[in-house]
Structure 1
C-alpha cells in the first residue's frame, strides 16, 4: 500500500494550545457508512459536538483549507466542522468559481501573500507612513482586536455554513 503525502504548500494548521480534535480525536473520527456501533442519532449527536468544537477553534479556517486540498487524506472524519460529503461540495464549488486548477491558484495566492509579508517586514516605512502610524496610535490608542466569538455567534456562523452547503 502506498503512503499518501499531504500537499506541502498547505501545512497542517498548528495552534498554540491543543485543539479539541487533538484532545478528543474520537469525537471527530466519523467514518462514512461506519457509525462505530453508534445509532444514527448518537452519530448525529457526535457530529454536532464535533461541529461545535470546530466553531470555536482558532485554526478552523486553515483546517478547512488543508482538508479541502488534501482530499485523499480526508476521506473520513470531521475537519473544520465538515463531513467528507460537504467537503466534496465545497471542492466542486471552488472548481466552478476558480477553475479546475483551484489548488494551484490558492497555492500561488498564498505564496504571493507570504512574499509580500516578507518584503514588508524588511522594508522600513517611509517618513510620511511612519508619521501616519504614530498619529493613528496617538489618536486611537493601541490596536484593539475584536473579542472572541460568543457561543451564539458561533451557532449563527455554523447555520450560515449549513445553509450555504444546502444551497450548493
Structure 2
C-alpha cells in the first residue's frame, strides 16, 4: 500500500513495517509468543469474547515490551488491523491514532521517529557523560509529573516555578 507522508514529503510503500520502528524483541518469550491464539481478535470478536479479551489484556499489561509494542502497533496500522496488541483492540488503536493526529499533527509518525532518534542520540551521549544519581532522579520525576516537554515552546517563569515545586514534592515523596 502506498501512502503519502507529509513530514517526509513523498510517497512510500507501506507493505511492511516502518523501518524506523523495529518490532519489540525480548530475550525471553512473551505471552503473545507463547500463546498467539489468545491475542487473535477481529473487530467483531471483541464483544462476543469479552472473557478471552480480558485475559489477553492482562497478559499484555504484565509484558515489559507493552509500551514499545503499542508504538509499533500504532505506527504499523496495516499490519495490526486485527488482534490484541499492547492490550488494545483494533478499534482502540484506531481511536489512539486519531488522538495522535490531533496531538502531533498528520505527520505524527515522523514526529515519533524524530523523538526516538533524539532519545537514542541522548542515550549515546549519556554513555560518555552519564547523569549523577540525583540528576537521573530529577529527570525521571520530571517526566512522570509533567510528561515530555512540548517541542519549540518556551516555559514561562510561572511554569518553571510550578515544575520546580512538583519536582521537589516528588523528591520528598521518593
With normalisation by structure 2, the TM-score equals 0.64
Alignment-derived partner of residue 113 in structure 1:
119
Secondary structure of the residue that 1:15 maps to in structure 2? coil
Select the structure with the greater relative contact order (CA < 8 A; seq sep ≥ 6).
1
Q: CA separation in 2, counterparts of 1:70 and 1:59? A: 16
Structure with a larger share of its residues in strand: 2
CA gap 1:39/1:106 in 2 versus in 1, 3 angstroms: closer
Q: CA RMSD for the aligned pairs?
A: 2.5
Gaps of 5+ in 2: 2-12, 135-174
1:32 — aligned with what? Answer: 43
Distance between the aligned counterparts of 1:107 and 1:9, measured in 2?
6
How far is the alpha carbon of 1:113 from its aligned partner? 0.8
| TM-score, length of structure 1 as denominator length | 0.67
Runs in 1 of length 4+ with deviation above 3 angstroms?
Answer: none
Equivalenced residue count is 123
Is residue 55 of structure 2 the alignment partner of residue 49 of structure 1?
yes
Secondary structure, in 3 states, of the residue corresponding to 1:118? Answer: helix
Who is 2:81 aligned against?
Answer: 75
* Cα separation, partners in 2 of 1:74 and 1:108, compared to 1, 3 Å: same
**Structure 1 regions of 5+ residues with no counterpart?**
137-168
How far off is 1:120 after superposition? Answer: 2.1
How far residue 4 of structure 1 moved from its aligned partner, in angstroms, is 2.0
Q: CA separation in 2, counterparts of 1:94 and 1:108?
A: 15
> Match for residue 29 of structure 2?
18
